Amino acid sequence: MEYLHTMIRISDIDESLNFFCECLGMKEVNRYESEQGRFTLIFLASSSDEQKARENRTPLLELTYNWPTESEEPETYTGGRNFGHLAYRVENIYETCQRLMDMGITINRPPRDGHMAFIKSPDGISIELLQKGDSLGPAEPWKSMENEGSW
């Protein structure tokens, strides 16, 4: 068995691409639009997996946007269509969380342990950030920071 991709539904392409590409540093490697099916599929890869993803189309994150009709608003997906979470390994959990906070991203579960944090996508998908290698030593402001919202 070979892992291919994880698909999540999105309600706003621009907002989601800003979050995943600008904030998290992912790269768009492929896009498919179906006029007949009225959907757009956008495939993203982490920066460290970009070359492999372009060659093998794996591992990828698939963003699925279902086109609204002219009289509809874009669909918003809530808990019933969600799943657990996505997880990504980062070089420095503290630097990553600080950069995300500086970009206006809420850190729902701060990296108090120097190892793990949670954030959410614009559509409420939980994303776990894990420190690469050994956990970093506890440090402020992280070790005193409370959880915010759900994760």
Number of residues in the chain: 151
pLDDT in tens, 75-130: 666 654 445 578 888 999 999 999 999 999 999 999 999 999 999 999 888 898 99
Here the tokens at position 56 are: 């093998």
What is the gyration radius of the CA atoms in the chain, in angstroms? Answer: 16
Section 5-27 average pLDDT: 93
Contact 57, 30 (CB under 8 A): yes
Helix H or strand E encompassing 8: strand 5-10
Using alpha carbons, select from 23, 5, 13 the residue that is nearest to residue 90: 23
| pLDDT the model gives residue 3 | 74
**What contacts 12, CB < 8 A, 6 or more positions away?**
74, 122
Instruction: Please give the model's pTM, rounded to 2 decimal places.
Output: 0.73
Where residue 68 falls among pLDDT bands split at 50, 70, 90?
confident
| pLDDT the model gives residue 76 | 64
| pLDDT the model gives residue 21 | 97
Q: What is the mean pLDDT of the chain?
A: 88
On the 0-12 / 13-18 / 19+ scale of CB atoms within 10 A, 36 is exposed
pLDDT in tens, 19-33: 999 999 999 999 999
DSSP output for 40-75:
EEEEEE-GGGHHHHHHH--SEEEEEEEPPPTTSPPP
On the 0-12 / 13-18 / 19+ scale of CB atoms within 10 A, 23 is middle
* Percent of the chain clearing pLDDT 90 (strictly above): 60
Residue 133 DSSP SS3? coil
Q: Catalytic residue, from 62, 75, 128, 148: name it.
A: 128
Residue 45 clears pLDDT 70, i.e. is over it = yes
| pLDDT the model gives residue 4 | 78
Query: Is position 2 annotated as part of the catalytic site?
Result: no
